Amino acid sequence: MQFSTRTSVNGRARAGCALLPVVAGKDLTAGGKAIDAAHGGRLAKALRTGDLPAKAGSTLLVQLDGALPRVLLVSMGETREGGDKSFGEAVRGALKAAGQLAADDAISLLHEAPVAARDTAWKLRAQVLTGRELAYRFEVLKTKRESQPVRPRRVVLPVEAAESGVAARAVAQAGAIADGVQMTRDLGNLPGNYCTPTYLADTAKKMAREFGLEAKVLDARQMQALKMGALLSVARGSVQPPKLIVLRYQGAGARQAPIALVGKGITFDSGGISLKPGLEMDEMKFDMCGAASVLGTMRAVAAMKLKINLVVVVPSAENMPGGRASKPGDIVASMSGQTVEILNTDAEGRLILCDALTYVQRFKPSTVIDVATLTGACVIALGHHHSGLFSPDDALAAELQEAGREIGDTCWRMPLDDEYQEQLKSPFADMANIGGRPAGSITAACFLSRFAKGYDWAHLDIAGTAWKSGANKGASGRPVPLLTRFLLARAQG
Ligand code: BES
Ligand code: MN
Ligand code: ZN
């Protein structure tokens, strides 16, 4: 689905379909009224039937003629001014209904409807992101195409001449974010026999060539030389070699400290010797969604040419129970020098991340955010709506929360008090890699906090938000919108 802006159409809309907002259950907006006038009041007449429910996202199809054969009247909700949620529902309802029509192109005036505290740019971005989300398919591994072709293929968003510059930029920005989300979803959906650490590294290098980024991939020997004993311990049970992927984007002066994103890249998590139960184990191919999301964010940032410096670090391995695999009770030395008793080989994410959090210090970053499908406990705590946010830094936490709310990819701050650190005590090593059942997502974050030294740090646990289970199983692309929005704000501030 392609989106573009153009200056207002003044009733002379030419398209397979027009998406027109209806506010307060009954009223057309200015652009809608102009189209209605050009078609003899047939839209107002259709509304008077009462056939359009006021619930946001309800639609009523009206047949017109000539250059505009049909219109979808789209309910924006009961009140005159909507909120983020009702606008989102309206856009989703409208684009889904339009997708059922034979129209190849559409013109949308949904952004004429008022949304509390949101400007036109926000409403345009929301339409692009939702449209691209709905149009997404992952069918490269099917030999027969099963789904309907994407409709509408093109969506025009008319805006006032005075707003055309801002609007075009907002649509381009949202397109870049959607491209990043799409890359993240593709990588997440690709199964473990395709998407190995080597495949992730090759994908990163390819993106680096495309966008002029600096790329470096460390292999096991180089990790050995750096004493990354924790990361290496996770890869031992697999025939797939581990990789540490580093991408650097320089959009600001060399003197400006970079922001670093670290993403968990377990391309399949069997649990290792602490083997997972069989039920839904296939979903552990998504255990590299943190990695995929930081790569997708890098793509969006590079495409937007943001004026920031960004480093992306992806520790990647496959967690398997081979003959050389780590065993419960094994003790490994991390790159930081701290030793870890591996009580459960299924708590492998923190083991690869801890060495990446130490490694990233060499870039002298001001801020480091790690992103990981880290704990099942986070899914129990927050379900599938908010990502878990952990940070000792109130200002950074607030920035991330605000970015998430702005773009509809939210996170919820969890506690990270020192009291929880107690649970990681080990009689044999500096710490254990698990802290027992209580507060499992918090003790995982506590573990990481012991390595996140020398910079401001936040951790996003995306175990509940990175993918959907069930009939519509698949990667969501989260938290690419949240991270990109955060970086956009940093670039402007
Ligand atoms: N990748 C999993 C976390 C996970 C589980 C994400 C389910 C999404 C859905 C992680 O490596 C893991 O296995 N964590 C363990 C930690 C435990 C052994 C302390 C978990 O959550 O059970
Ligand atoms: Mn695991
Ligand atoms: Zn895992």
- Of ligand 1's listed atoms, the one at least distance from the Cα of 374 is 3
Token couple for 217: 């991939």
Quote the pLDDT of residue 90: 98
Q: Which segment of 85-89, 148-152, 379-383, 455-459 scores lowest on mean pLDDT?
A: 148-152
Nearest to 180 by CA among 69, 312, 67: 312
The confidence band for 111, taking pLDDT boundaries of 50, 70 and 90, is: very high
Q: How many CB atoms lie within 10 A of CB 26?
A: 14
Task: Provide the 3-class DSSP secondary structure of residue 63.
Answer: strand
Above pLDDT 90, what percent of the chain? 97
Residues 267-326: pLDDT tens digits? 999 999 999 999 999 999 999 999 999 999 999 999 999 999 999 999 999 999 999 999
Q: Can you say how many angstroms the Cα of residue 120 is from the centroid of all Cα atoms in its chain?
A: 23
Distance from the CA of 308 to the center of ligand 1, in angstroms?
33
Cα of 69 from ligand 3 centre, angstroms:
52
Q: What pLDDT does 10 receive?
A: 79
DSSP code at position 122: H
**What 3-state DSSP class applies to 367?**
strand
> Given this model, what pLDDT does residue 351 score?
99
pLDDT exceeds 80 at position 9: no
Residue range 183-199: average pLDDT?
A: 99
**pLDDT tens-digit profile of 419-472?**
999 999 999 999 999 999 999 999 999 999 999 999 999 999 999 999 999 999
350 a catalytic residue: yes
In contact, 342 and 426? CB cutoff 8 Å:
no
Residue-level pLDDT at 11: 79
Question: Atom 6 in ligand 1: which residue has the minimum CA distance?
Answer: 463
Most ligand 1 atoms within 8 A of CB, residue of 346, 437, 447, 448 to mutate:
346
